[in-house]
């Protein structure tokens, strides 16, 4: 289970990396808004999942 939680944390970090990657002056500049949306969605979805798992762990104890 710890590996799964670490995978979720890595996914959140990947979302932050997508937000911070500089795409100006590259051929990928046209998809910069798409990477921002994907990054924000990754952060929100995986963060909410970790919060849910944390609340479920507290309720069970």
Average pLDDT score over residue span 22-48: 93
Question: What is the mean predicted confidence (pLDDT) over 14-23?
Answer: 93
Where would I find the H helices in 1-61? 2-20, 32-60
In this predicted structure, the answer to whether residue 52 has a pLDDT above a threshold of 90 is yes
Number of domains in the chain: 1
The yes-or-no verdict on residue 1 having pLDDT over 70 is no
Look at 1 and 11; give whichever has higher pLDDT.
Answer: 11
Q: Angle at which helices 2-20 and 32-60 pack, to 10 degrees?
A: 150
For residue 3, pLDDT beyond 90: no
Task: Quote the domain boundaries for residue 36.
Answer: 2-60
């Amino acid at each position: 289970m710890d590996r799964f939680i670490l995978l979720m944390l890595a996914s959140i970090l990947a979302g932050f990396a997508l937000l911070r990657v500089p795409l100006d002056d590259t051929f990928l500049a046209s998809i910069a808004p798409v990477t921002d949306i994907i990054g924000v969605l990754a952060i929100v979805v995986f963060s909410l999942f970790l919060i849910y798992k944390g609340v479920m762990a507290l309720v069970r104890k």
